[in-house]
Amino acid sequence: MTTALRVALAGLGTVGGGVIRVLETNRELIARRAGRPIEIVAVSARDRTKDRGVDVSGYEWLDDTTALARCDADVVVELVGGADGPALALARATLGAGKGFVTANKAMLAHHGAELAEMAEAARVPLKFEAAVAGGIPVIKGLREGMAANAVSRVYGILNGTCNFILSKMESEGRDFGDVLAEAQALGFAESDPSFDIDGVDAAHKLSILSTIAFGTRPAFADVAIGGIRNVTAADVAEAEALGYRVRLVGMAQADASGVFQRVHAHLVPHAHPLAHVTGSTNAVVAEGNFVGRLLFQGAGAGDGPTASAVVADLIDIARGEAGPPYAMPVAALAEVAPAAAGAQRGRAYLRFAVADRVGVLAEIAAAMRDAGVSIESLIQRAVPVEGTALVVIVTHEAPDAHIEAALERLRGSQSLAGEPLWMHILD
Ligand SMILES: NC(=O)C1=CN([C@@H]2O[C@H](COP(=O)(O)OP(=O)(O)OC[C@H]3O[C@@H](n4cnc5c(N)ncnc54)[C@H](O)[C@@H]3O)[C@@H](O)[C@H]2O)C=CC1
Ligand SMILES: N[C@@H](CC=O)C(=O)O
Ligand code: NA
């Protein structure tokens, strides 16, 4: 057998520990598939003395994470996290030293992906990030390689395991989201700052990476319209179910003549749609190509084993000598495309209002809808346990987002409303 691929590993938490376990458990099989052994030679993390359930005593320990770029390794794996700070310093140092780089860090890629890809291309070394989007699902490989012959019109899906875990629990147990978040954190799915998960930022990071590969456009994280699940209540989940839908946080990117539209938002997904049946921390991505048609990628989007599986798959690709530009085409060939106007997007909407239970409230809401040109498909009013208040749920006919926003804007601040209305898109 030829020389081993020597790996330096930064970050020994959920995913880093998983990578060590995968490489140990499947050592022989991986070596046969890669054509040579893959060996960790050096590691770095914040606390040397911590018990991680994996033995790291056989590897060189470096307190300075950036120094891994200068150690005797062919490839550096970054599993520290954070858009900037030590992760970015390590990425720049590694690619600058002409070594391959593997990361699960979607935040860093969303903000600095083009710069890092340019560095990798200039040095002719691999930059790989399968674990950064949808954890163990080979969706980067699927889009970058499997769909390389297609013009992709739309890519969308469930990109955050924490939110999906929370929404599934709210669905099956009728609990509110705050109660369930701590469970997702304990299982190792949540980001170190869980607001990235529940406010849709993590899914937006991932969506911007998918868009770049799918459409051949420059990364444009700043153009993603972002919403989360913080305001979705157990009552919304129950209303959606009664209407024939499940609530899911969906990242949606589509390209047309006017540009690329990217949005992360809570959606009502019809029971008949495959995304409605994606539960727990599972992720699923749908991609539509002009020759292959619609593809569905589904599986574990978070957690130590699945995410580490994707990291090690990248290492096996590198050991085999598989190369090519990180984004399926050189950064210089990526198109600079204007963001499509969010307000011009059309769709049906679920609108929920907590209202004072008094004469004229429904007429006020209906008038705001009428004046904004939004046609109501159905309207439900329910009394809620808080005396004197009611819940009004409206499902609209298809309308431009700008019209719905205008109706909500007119109602904001109304004495009839107790709190901010909730708007969820309905997936077609
Ligand atoms: N946990 C998951 O299910 C998934 C995580 N990811 C990404 O993988 C990366 C790692 O995530 P986890 O393993 O969950 O995080 P974690 O918090 O479990 O582990 C982070 C590791 O980095 C080390 N670290 C943190 N700050 C450091 C610093 N300043 N200098 C040196 N070492 C430092 C910590 O000591 C720890 O060993 C993140 O980018 C995350 O977004 C991606 C997909 C799934
Ligand atoms: N926090 C993320 C982890 C994987 O990317 C998630 O919940 O999906
Ligand atoms: Na993946």
Residue 208 pLDDT: 98
Alpha-carbon gap, residue 368 to 347, rounded angstroms: 18
pLDDT surpassing 70 at residue 137: yes
Q: Same domain for 166 and 255?
A: yes
* DSSP one-letter code for 339: B
What is the ipTM, given to two decimal places? Answer: 0.99
pLDDT surpassing 70 at residue 147: yes
Q: Is 163 in the pocket of ligand 1 (CB under 6 A)?
A: no
The closest ligand to the CA of 132 turns out to be 1
Q: Which residue has the higher pLDDT, 342 or 279?
A: 279
CATH number at residue 417: 3.30.70.260
Residue 1 pLDDT: 52
Residue 2 pLDDT: 81
316 located within any domain: no
Q: Measuring from each residue's beta carbon to the nearest atom of ligand 2, which residues come in under 6 Å?
A: 135, 160-162, 189-191, 197, 202, 301-302
78 located within any domain: yes
3-state secondary structure of 156: strand
Q: Same domain for 286 and 199?
A: yes
Q: Residue with the nearest Cα to atom 4 of ligand 2?
A: 302
pLDDT surpassing 60 at residue 291: yes
Specify which residues 393 forms β-bridges with: 352, 380
Please list, in sequence order, all residues whose beta carbon lies within 8 angstroms of the beta carbon of residue 106, skipping any fewer than 6 positions away. 129, 132, 133, 202, 205, 206, 209
Q: Same domain for 238 and 369?
A: no
Residue 176 pLDDT: 81
The closest ligand to the CA of 308 turns out to be 1
Q: Same domain for 271 and 366?
A: no
Tally of domains in the chain: 3
39 located within any domain: yes
Domain boundary among 78, 110, 132: 132
Its pTM stands at: 0.97
| C-alpha 134 – ligand 3 centre gap (Å) | 4
Q: Same domain for 290 and 146?
A: yes
| C-alpha 113 – ligand 2 centre gap (Å) | 18
Q: Is 191 in the pocket of ligand 1 (CB under 6 A)?
A: yes
Q: Same domain for 113 and 255?
A: no
The closest ligand to the CA of 109 turns out to be 1
* DSSP one-letter code for 148: T
Instruction: Identify which of 307, 309, 312 to mutate to test ligand 1's pocket (most ligand atoms within 8 A of the CB).
Output: 307
CATH number at residue 246: 3.30.360.10
Residue 317 pLDDT: 98
Alpha-carbon gap, residue 173 to 191, rounded angstroms: 24
Domain boundary among 84, 111, 132: 132
Q: Same domain for 402 and 264?
A: no
How much of the chain, in percent, has pLDDT values that exceed 70?
100
Q: Which of 200, 16, 6, 229 is nearest to 110 (CA)?
A: 200
Residue 384 pLDDT: 81
189 located within any domain: yes
Question: Given pLDDT bands bounded at 50, 70 and 90, which one contains residue 340?
Answer: confident
Please list, in sequence order, all residues whose beta carbon lies within 8 angstroms of the beta carbon of residue 142, skipping any fewer than 6 positions away. 285, 287, 295, 297
Q: Which two tokens stand for residue 339?
A: 């963001």
Q: Which atom of ligand 2 is nearest the CA belonging to 162?
A: 7
pLDDT surpassing 80 at residue 233: yes
pLDDT surpassing 80 at residue 197: yes
pLDDT surpassing 60 at residue 294: yes
307 located within any domain: no
Q: Same domain for 286 and 197?
A: yes
Q: Same domain for 58 and 82?
A: yes
Encode pLDDT of 159-194 as tens digits. 999 999 999 999 999 888 777 888 888 888 888 899
Q: Same domain for 361 and 414?
A: yes
pLDDT surpassing 90 at residue 343: no
Residue 413 pLDDT: 86
Please list, in sequence order, all residues whose beta carbon lies within 8 angstroms of the beta carbon of residue 92, skipping any fewer than 6 positions away. 116, 119
Q: Residue with the nearest Cα to atom 1 of ligand 2?
A: 190
| Average pLDDT score, the chain | 95
9 located within any domain: yes
181 located within any domain: yes
Neighbours of 29 (CB within 10 A): 9
13, 45 Cβ separation under 8 angstroms: yes
Domain around 279: 139-302
Average pLDDT over residues 8-14: 97
Domain boundary among 89, 117, 132: 132
Neighbours of 16 (CB within 10 A): 27
Q: Same domain for 352 and 418?
A: yes
Q: Same domain for 51 and 159?
A: no
CATH number at residue 123: 3.40.50.720
Query: Could you confirm whether 206 is annotated as catalytic?
Result: yes
Average pLDDT over residues 67-74: 98
Encode pLDDT of 27-68 as tens digits. 999 999 999 999 999 999 999 999 999 999 999 999 999 999
Residue list, CB under 5 A from ion ligand 3: 130, 134, 137, 139, 310
139, 133 Cβ separation under 8 angstroms: yes
99 located within any domain: yes
Encode pLDDT of 86-110 as tens digits. 999 999 999 999 999 999 999 999 9
pLDDT surpassing 80 at residue 385: no
Residue 66 pLDDT: 98
Question: Given pLDDT bands bounded at 50, 70 and 90, which one contains residue 212?
Answer: very high
- Strand ranges of the sheet holding 5-10, from the earlier edge strand across to the other edge: 60-61, 38-44, 5-10, 75-78, 100-103, 127-128
| C-alpha 132 – ligand 3 centre gap (Å) | 6
